[in-house]
Structure 1
Amino acid sequence: METSWLEMRWARPFYLVFVSFLTLVLLQAIKLFLRRQQLLRDLRPFPGPSPLHWLTGHQKLFRDGDFESIEEFVKKYPCGFPAWIGPFEVFFQIYDPDYAKTFLSRTDPKSQYLYRFLASLLGEGLLSLHGIRWSQHRRLITPAFNFNILKSHTSVMAQSVNVMLDKWEKVCGAQESVLEVFEDISLMSLDTLMKCTFSRETNCQINSSHDHYAKGLCESSEIVYNRLFRFLYHSDIIFKFSPEKRRLQKIIKTLHQYTDQIIRERRKALKDEKEHGKTGNRKFRDFLDILLSAQDEHGNSFSDADLYAEVNTFMVAGQDTVGGSLAWLLHLLAQNPEHQERCREEIMDILGDGSSITWDHLGEMTYTTMCIKESLRLCPTVFSLARQLSQPITFPDGRSLPAGVTVSLNIWGLHHNPAVWENPQVFDPLRFSPDNYDKRHSHSFLPFSGGPRNCIGQHFAMTELKVAIAMILLRFKITPDPTRPLTIVPKILLKPKNGLYLSLKKIS
Structure 2
Amino acid sequence: MSAAVAPKNSFFYEFLKPWLGDGLLLSAGDKWSRHRRMLTPAFHFNILKSYVKIFNDSAKVMHAKWQCLITEGHTRLNMFEHISLMTLDSLQKCVFSFDSNCQEKPIGYIAAILELSALVAKRHQQLFQYKDFVYYLTPDGQRFRRACRQVHDFTDAVIRERRRTLPDEGADDFLKAKAKTKTLDFIDVLLLTKDEDGTGLSDEDIRAEADTFMFAGHDTTASGLSWVLYNLAKHPEYQERCRQEVEELLKDREPKEIEWDDLTQLPFLTMCIKESLRLHPPAPTISRRCTQDIVLPDGRVIPKGVICLISIFGIHHNPSVWPDPEVYDPFRFDPEHIKGRSPLAFIPFSAGPRNCIGQSFAMTEMKVVLALTLLRFRVLPDKEEPRRSPELILRAEGGLWLRVEPLSAGAQ
Q: TM-score normalised to the size of structure 2?
A: 0.89
Matched, 1:440 2:341: yes
Contact preservation (8 Å) 1:221, 1:491: no
Q: Residue 182 and residue 228 in structure 1: after superposition, are their counterparts in 2 closer, same or farther (change >3 A)?
A: closer
SS in 1 for 2:133: helix
* Structure 2 stretches lacking a partner, 5+ long: none
Question: Across the two proteins, how many residue pairs are aligned to each other?
Answer: 401
Report if the CA contact (8 A) 1:141-1:287 is conserved: no
C-alpha distance in 1, partners of 2:142/2:341?
47
Deviation, 1:108, is: 2.1
Q: 1:236 aligns with which of 126, 132, 142?
A: 132
Shift of 1:386: 0.6
The one of 461, 466, 469 aligned to 2:367: 466
1:340 aligns with 2:239: yes
8 Å CA contact 2:379–2:404 kept in 1: the answer is yes
How far 1:318 moved relative to its partner?
1.3
The superposition leaves residues 117-144 of structure 1 with CA deviations (integer Å, 9 ceiling, x where unpaired) of 2110100110111221111101111111
Q: Select which of 201, 204, 209 maps to 1:310.
A: 209
* Equivalent position amino acid for 1:117 in 2: F
Query: In 2, Cα distance between the equivalents of 1:151 and 1:271?
Result: 25
Mapped partners of 2:183, 2:62: distance in 1? 25
Shift of 1:300: 7.0
Aligned equivalent of 1:172, options 70, 84, 89? 70
3-state SS of paired residue (1:479): strand
Identity of aligned residues (%): 44
String of CA shifts for 1:236-269, please: whole Å, max 9, x gaps: 3333433332221122122222322332343344
Aligned equivalents of 2:168 and 2:61: distance in 1?
31
Q: In the alignment, residue 209 of structure 2 is paired with which amino acid?
A: E
Q: Which amino acid aligns with 2:9?
A: S
Aligned 8 A contact 2:34 2:195 in 1:
no
Partner AA of 1:313 in structure 2 = T
Query: 1:124 is matched with which residue?
Result: 22
1:167, distance to aligned residue in structure 2 (A): 1.2
**Are residues 1:321 and 2:220 paired?**
yes
Deviation of 1:225 (Å)? 3.4
Secondary structure of 1:179 counterpart = strand
| Residue 380 of structure 2 corresponds to residue 485 of structure 1 | no
Task: Kindly state the Cα deviation for residue 174 of structure 1 after the two structures are TM-superposed.
Answer: 9.9
Residue 197 (structure 1) aligned with residue 77 (structure 2):
no
Moved more, 255-264 or 344-353: 255-264
Distance 1:259 1:365 in 2: 36
Tell me which structure has the larger Cα radius of gyration.
Answer: 1
Compared with structure 1, are the counterparts of its residues 262 and 297 closer, same or farther at alpha carbon in structure 2 (3 Å cutoff)?
A: farther
Kindly report which structure 2 residues correspond to 1:176-191, keeping only aligned pairs within 5 A, or say none. Answer: 177-191=75-89
Q: Tell me the CA shift for residue 489 of structure 1.
A: 1.8
Q: In the TM superposition, what is the alpha-carbon distance from 1:343 to its structure 2 partner?
A: 0.5
Partner of 1:257: 153
Q: 2:281·2:348 contact (CA, 8 Å) conserved in 1?
A: yes
Residue 178 of structure 1: how far off its partner (Å): 1.6
Distance in 2 between residues matched to 1:441 and 1:244, nearest whole Å: 43
Contact 2:91/2:217 (CA < 8 Å) preserved in 1?
yes
In 1, the alpha carbon distance for the partners of 2:407 and 2:249 equals: 17
| Equivalence for 2:142 | 246
Give the structure 1 partner of residue 7 of structure 2: 109
Structure 1 residue identity aligned to 2:360: H
Distance in 2 separating the partners of 1:333 and 1:417:
22
- TM-score, structure 1 length as denominator? 0.73
Contact 1:109 1:129 in 2 (8 A): no
Cα distance in 2 between the residues matched to 1:299 and 1:213: 33
Give the match's secondary structure for 1:403: coil
- Partner Cα distance (1:497, 1:271) in 2: 49
Q: Which residue of 2 aligns with 1:404?
A: 305
Shift of 1:456: 0.6
Query: What is the rounded CA distance, in whole Å, between the counterparts of 1:293 and 1:348 in structure 2?
Result: 41
Report what 1:494 is aligned to: 394
Map of 1:427 onto structure 2: 328
- 8 Å Cα contact 2:193-2:200 kept in structure 1: no
Q: CA deviation at 1:105?
A: 7.3
State the 1:284 CA deviation: 4.8
Letter of the structure 1 residue corresponding to residue 308 of structure 2: V
CA contact (8 A) 1:108 1:390 kept: yes
- Give deviations 1:293-318, integer Å, cap 9, x for gaps: 13799787732221111111011111
- Supply the distance in 2 between the matched residues of 1:216 and 1:411 (Cα, whole angstroms): 29
Cα separation, 1, equivalents of 2:352 and 2:187? 26
Amino acid of the residue matched to residue 223 of structure 1?
L
Deviation at 1:401, TM superposition (A): 1.5
Alpha-carbon spacing, 1:262–1:347, altered in 2? closer, same or farther (3 Å): same
d(CA) in 2 for partners of 1:477, 1:162: 15
Task: Label 1:235 to 1:197 Cα distance change in 2 as closer, same or farther (>3 A).
Answer: closer
Cα distance in structure 2, aligned partners of 1:156 and 1:237: 42
